[in-house]
Amino acid sequence: MAERRLAAGPGRVLLVVYVVFAISAGARALYQIAVQFERAPEAYVLSAFAAAVYLVAAVALGRGARRVALVAVVVELVGVLGIGTLSLLRPEDFPDPTVWSDFGIGYGFVPVVLPILGLLWIRRASRP
C-alpha cells in the first residue's frame, strides 16, 4: 500500500486551515507592524513569524514535503506552547496579543490544536 498524500482526505482540511491562518495572521501582523509597531513590536513580530510558519506548513503539506511539514508543525507547536505559557505567566510582556498568546484564545484555541492534528496527520499519512 502506498503512502497517503499529505494533502488528501483530512490533509486537505488541514491545508485549508493552514492557508487561512497564514493569510489572517499575516495580514493582521503586516497591518500592526505598518501602523502601530511601536505599541508592541515583539507581539507583532511574533505574529508575523507565526504567519510564516503557517505558510511554510501549508506549502509543505500541499507539495507533500513531509520533512518540511514536520519541522514547520513542530516549530508551531513549540511556539504556541512557549508563547502561550509566557503570555500567561508574564502578561505585562504582551501588551497586545499574538496569534499564539494564551494558547490562541483569540483564534478559538485553533493555534494549539492545529499542530497536534498536523503531527497526527503527518504520522498517519506517512505509514504504508
For residue range 48-80, what is the model confidence (pLDDT) as tens digits?
999 999 999 999 999 999 999 999 999 999 999
pLDDT at position 5:
86
Q: How far is CA 32 from the centre of its chain?
A: 18
> Do the Cβ atoms of 126 and 3 come closer than 8 Å?
yes
pTM of the model: 0.92
Cell (9 digits) for 17: 486551515
Cell (9 digits) for 4: 497517503
Q: Which amino acid is at 93?
A: D
| CA dist., res. 111 & res. 54, Å (int) | 10
